[in-house]
Structure 1
Amino acid sequence: MKVLPYDDAHVIFQRIYICLGACKNGFKNGCRQLVGLDGCHLKGVFKGQLLSAVGMDANNQTWVIAYAIVELENKDSWVWFLELLAADLGIVNQRAWTFISDKQKGLIPAFEKGLPNCNHRFCVRHLYTNYKADGFKGKRLKDALWNAAKATTIADFRESMAEVNRLNKKAYKWLEKRPTLH
């Protein structure tokens, strides 16, 4: 925990990181090197942000790896969190690791600084929320997007994207702006 300078009357809490040994060791010994990252606002008397890192176990159940409470969700807090997480997980060969996020504030620059060689992917559920909010609604468009996201070959991906284009050219152009790598 880092304590900021204070006067006699005030001590200001900045950050705390928690990674329980049993959770860390269980993840390292039984889960794939795939980590989901997310952040959310803390509401109530004590404000701040909750950052979390989770994996999936062999039963496709969520496995909590680590979490932190920070003052703001920004590049500095994400770099701090990612550095501690990388140390706890023993990330040496970054290319073997994949992280999934919804492009939280400051997270993309934090990856560039702290884990530049890891694979970074974006959550399709969050992408779909924005897709739908921009007017691309309906089961057929939704299914076409998810088929593209789940494609395991380039040919299947192109076929799914062609279906999106047939259904709605604006939706296709909207998706085309997003890097296919992610």
Structure 2
Amino acid sequence: MYVCFTSSRHGFLDGFRPVIGVDGCHVKGPCPGQILTVVGVDVNNGSFPIAYAVVEIEIKQSWIWFLRLLIEDLKITNGSSYVFISDKQKGLIPAIETALPTAEHMMCVRHLYNNFRSSHSGLALKHILWATTRATTMPWWEAETENMK
């Protein structure tokens, strides 16, 4: 099942940044499955739901199906104009490469930090990493990157 409300689609098309967050989660109970979600980023850096789908299993084919419906709804003709942010969901990375080969695909900083956390205990790296992600100019980002090193 795929759902993209008209108001969500128009809201995204009428003024949101070309940044799309993609994620999935488990559904437990008598009808198990996965919920695949897509959110946009508004001008105040807030999340805005765009679409979701319920699938039986989270695999490359499910993500491709979901992304193709999203591409059609959002009228995406030039994937290089968009940035997709995700964690390392099963099948998602190759699905984005298949459905939107020219789109930029980045990993979520929270999930990136979780990978660092096992070898760098304490909060110092966490604070430096988040300071780096908040940098909005190249000189600021370079200074924070040096601080991280």
In the alignment, the residues of structure 1 paired with residue 142 and residue 52 of structure 2 have an alpha-carbon distance, to the nearest angstrom, of 38
Report the Cα offset of residue 104 of structure 1.
0.8
Where is the strand percentage greater, Structure 1 or Structure 2?
A: 2
Report the Cα offset of residue 154 of structure 1.
5.2
Where does structure 1 lack aligned partners over 5 or more consecutive residues? Answer: 1-15, 166-182
Q: 1:60 to 1:154 in 2, by over 3 A?
A: closer
Where does structure 2 lack aligned partners over 5 or more consecutive residues? Answer: none
Q: Give the aligned residue type for 2:91.
A: G
In the alignment, the residues of structure 2 paired with residue 153 and residue 123 of structure 1 have an alpha-carbon distance, to the nearest angstrom, of 20
| Range with greater deviation from structure 2 (75-84 or 143-152) | 143-152
- Partner residue in 2 for 1:9: none
- Partner residue in 2 for 1:115: 100
Q: Give the aligned residue type for 2:113.
A: Y
- Partner residue in 2 for 1:105: 90
Give the structure, 1 or 2, with the largest relative contact order (CA under 8 Å, sep 6 or more). 2
- Relative to the length of structure 1, the TM-score reads 0.75
- Partner residue in 1 for 2:76: 91
Name the % identity: 48
Equivalent residue for 2:113, pick from 106, 123, 128? 128
In the alignment, the residues of structure 1 paired with residue 140 and residue 100 of structure 2 have an alpha-carbon distance, to the nearest angstrom, of 30
Q: 1:26 to 1:154 in 2, by over 3 A?
A: closer
Q: 1:153 to 1:31 in 2, by over 3 A?
A: closer
- Partner residue in 1 for 2:125: 141
In the alignment, structure 1 residue 80 sits paired with structure 2 residue 60: no
- Partner residue in 2 for 1:160: 144
Report the Cα offset of residue 78 of structure 1.
0.5
In the alignment, the residues of structure 2 paired with residue 150 and residue 17 of structure 1 have an alpha-carbon distance, to the nearest angstrom, of 33
Query: How many aligned positions are there?
Result: 149
- Relative to the length of structure 2, the TM-score reads 0.90
Superposed CA offset, 1:109-155 (max 9, x none):
001111010111111011112221x1312222212222333344555
* RMSD of aligned alpha carbons: 1.7
- Partner residue in 2 for 1:7: none
